[in-house]
Amino acid sequence: MAKKNKKKALGRGLSALLDDPQNEIRSISDSNADRVVGNIIDLDLKKIEVNPFQPRTNFNEEAILELAESVKSLGIIQPITVRKLGLNNYQLVSGERRFRAAKLLKLETIPAYVRIANDQETLEMALVENIQRRELDPIEIALSYQRLIEEIKLTQNQLSERVGKKRSTVANYMRLLKLDPIVQSGIRDGFLSMGHGRALINIEEQDKQLEVYEKVISLGLSVRDTEKLVQKFKSQESNTKSKPKLAEIYSELEAELKNYLNSKTSIKGNIEGKGSIQIHFNSHDDLKYLIKKIKRED
C-alpha cells in the first residue's frame, strides 16, 4: 500500500511541476524536462484535447462501454500518451479509447505519459503507435500508412521498418485504397475481410467491382469463393472483349469473299482460329460458277 501511495504522490508532484508558470517546460532542453518525459503523471481530463491526427475514426460504442466497466473495476492499466502544447494544455497522442472511457465514467484525472514533440513527430508517434497497439481495421491501417508516406515523407521501405512489417504487407494494405469507397466501407464495417478486398481489387472497373461485391455480400462468400468468382468474372470479361474483335475480323473477310464470289457467305470461328465457311447458291449454275472461281484461285 505504501508503494502505491508513493506512486500517486510522484504523479501529483510531477503534475505540479508542469503547472508551474515560472518554470514552464516547453521543449526537451528545458530544465526538469527529463523528469517529466517517460514518467506517469496524473493529468486533469479537462486539460487534454483530442488528437486531430488520430487515425482511428470509427469507435465502437459498445466496446467503449465494456472498457469503461473494466476501468471502473481495475482502473486504467495502460496510461495514455499526451503531448504538451502549453501551460495546462495537452493533446492526446494515443489512447483515445481509454480517454473516452474515463470521460464516460466522469473521472477527474487519468494516468498519462507526457511527451514534448512537434506536430510531425506527434503524427508519426500517433500513427505508428496506433498501428502497432490498437486493432485498427484494414482501411484505417492503409490510411495511416498513406499518411506516413505523404505527410512524414517516408518511403515504403522506411515505413516497413518503422511499423515492423514487410514491404509487401505495407503495399497490400495500401492497395486497398484503390477499391471503390463502398467496398472500403464494407471492409470498415466488417462485412468483408482484407482477403476479400485483395480479391476484388483485381477488378479495375468500379461498376463491375460493385457488381461482384454485391454478390459476395448477398451470398456470404468466403475469401476463396470470392477469388474464384473474380477469376470467373475476369475470364468472362476477357471473352466478351475478344468477341467484338473476332466479329469485326470475320465480317471484313465475309465482305471480301462475297465480293469475289458474288454470293452470300458467312464465316464462323473461335479465338483459336477454328471455324467454318458457308457459301450460298441458288442454282446448279451458281454452284458450277463458284467451283470454277475457287479452282481458278488454285
Q: Which value, to the nearest 10 degrees, does the dihedral of the CA atoms of residues 278, 279, 283, 284 take?
A: -90
Identify whether 96 is a catalytic site residue: yes
Q: Report yes or no: 120 and 150 within 8 Å, Cβ to Cβ.
A: no
Nearest to 224 by CA among 187, 192, 197, 195: 195
In which region does residue 224 sit, left (phi positive, over 0), alpha (psi from -120 to 50) or beta (all else)?
alpha
Catalytic residue among 24, 61, 96, 135: 96
290 phi and psi angles, rounded to 5 deg: -65, -40
Integer-rounded Cα radius of gyration of the chain: 34
54 neighbors 126 (Cβ within 8 angstroms): yes
Partners of 272 in beta bridges = none
Cβ count within 10 A of residue 65: 13
Q: Which residues are catalytic?
A: 96
